Amino acid sequence: MTRKTSGPAAARQPRAASGARPDLPNQAAAATPGSRPVVEPAGLRRRLASMLYESMLLLGVLALTFLVPYLILGVGFGLAPPGWFAWLHIFAVLGLYFVWYWRRQGQTLAMQTWRLKLVDAADGRKLGTARCWLRYALAWPSVLLGGVGLLWALVDRDRQFLHDRLARTCIVLLPPAAKR
């Protein structure tokens, strides 16, 4: 994915009344052979809605990978792992979920539904594994410390979350799929 313009100068251009940047059109540019579509950064409401949907999906992921094993250990064997291990287990399971999806296609299940994609902020390319883990690790304090990293988007010039700014990532809105 590429933006029409890049660099700090493009990021500081004034926003249109709708909140969109004028250098990033709402529709994908007409693709010519060998070119990539132009995309726009995803809006704050869409990203927050995707996070809400993602949290509902994660209940199923955690039920399968956390609740079931702990029930088997507790009921079947009378074992209760220490609390710190439970938190480490949750961190690892969720990390594997997010990093696997981000690395594989740049989208989790919820992001696919909302047509969002995680890309490198500089060039729009797919992220490497280390950057995915960095973004994941930075998202925890961003969300858990009173949501300060999410509130950051209200003052950020590109409306990016703090963990996206620090990890040099960007969530973009994909164009609608062509109808058949």
Q: Is pLDDT at 167 greater than 80 in this prediction?
A: yes
Phi, psi dihedral angles at 152 (to 5 degrees)? -55, -35
Decide if 109 is inside a domain. Answer: yes
Decide if 50 is inside a domain. Answer: yes
User: What's the pLDDT at 100?
Assistant: 97
Quote the domain boundaries for residue 139: 37-173
Decide if 25 is inside a domain. Answer: no
Decide if 21 is inside a domain. Answer: no
Q: Is pLDDT at 36 greater than 60 in this prediction?
A: no
* Number of domains the chain is built from: 1
What's the pLDDT tens digit per position in 120-154?
Answer: 999 999 999 999 999 999 999 999 999 999 999 99
Q: Is pLDDT at 5 greater than 60 in this prediction?
A: no
Average pLDDT over residues 18-27: 41
Average pLDDT over residues 83-98: 95
User: What's the pLDDT at 34?
Assistant: 54
Q: Is pLDDT at 171 greater than 50 in this prediction?
A: yes
Average pLDDT over residues 18-22: 42
Decide if 106 is inside a domain. Answer: yes
Q: Is pLDDT at 51 greater than 70 in this prediction?
A: yes
- Residue 136 to residues 73, 87, 118, 175, Cα–Cα distance (Å): 28, 15, 12, 25
DSSP string across 4-36: SS-SHHHHTSPPPTTS--TTS-SSPPPP-TT--
